């Protein structure tokens, strides 16, 4: 499953015109959610476009790296949740994601897309 998700995002990075899901919060309120543009940023990072990834979302390369590591470990161990997978970074990343979202909201710094 993680390798499939990583592959789908890689394919989306190669072909940005592939349809995807839009943000329900943004559609209903006009306010982007903390993960708005993260799919595009992750896809760009997976194809090696770090500059483009960072323009979409600061966390794109981080998510891409996490997905690749998760995929490799899951395939090696043949487990969806591999043994030895560290969970302590999740609250740190979540806090950073919320902080980055609040900063973007206060600066109104969202890509047009």
Residues 45, 68: Cα–Cα separation, whole Å: 11
Dihedrals phi, psi of 70, to nearest 5 degrees: -60, -45
What is the band of 110 on the pLDDT scale with cuts at 50, 70, 90?
A: confident
Residues 44, 61: Cα–Cα separation, whole Å: 8
* Per-residue pLDDT reduced to its tens digit, 49-94: 999 999 999 999 999 999 999 999 999 999 888 887 778 888 998 9
Residues 77, 57: Cα–Cα separation, whole Å: 31
Section 90-107 average pLDDT: 92
pTM: 0.83
* DSSP per-residue letters across 62-102: HHHHHHHHHHHHHHHHT-SS-TT---THHHHHHHHHHHHHH
Comparing CA positions, the residue from 28, 20, 27, 48 lying closest to residue 38 is 20
């Amino acid at each position: 499953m993680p390798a499939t998700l990583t592959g789908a995002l890689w394919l989306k990075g190669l072909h940005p015109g592939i349809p995807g899901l839009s943000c329900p919060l943004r559609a209903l309120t006009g306010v982007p959610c903390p993960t708005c543009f993260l799919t595009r940023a992750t896809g760009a990072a997976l194809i090696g476009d770090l500059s483009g990834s960072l323009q979409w979302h600061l966390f794109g390369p981080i998510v891409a790296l996490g997905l690749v590591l998760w995929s490799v470990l899951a395939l090696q161990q043949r487990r969806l949740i591999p043994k030895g997978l560290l969970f302590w970074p999740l609250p740190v990343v979540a806090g950073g994601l919320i902080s980055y979202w609040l900063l973007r909201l206060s600066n109104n710094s969202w890509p047009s897309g």
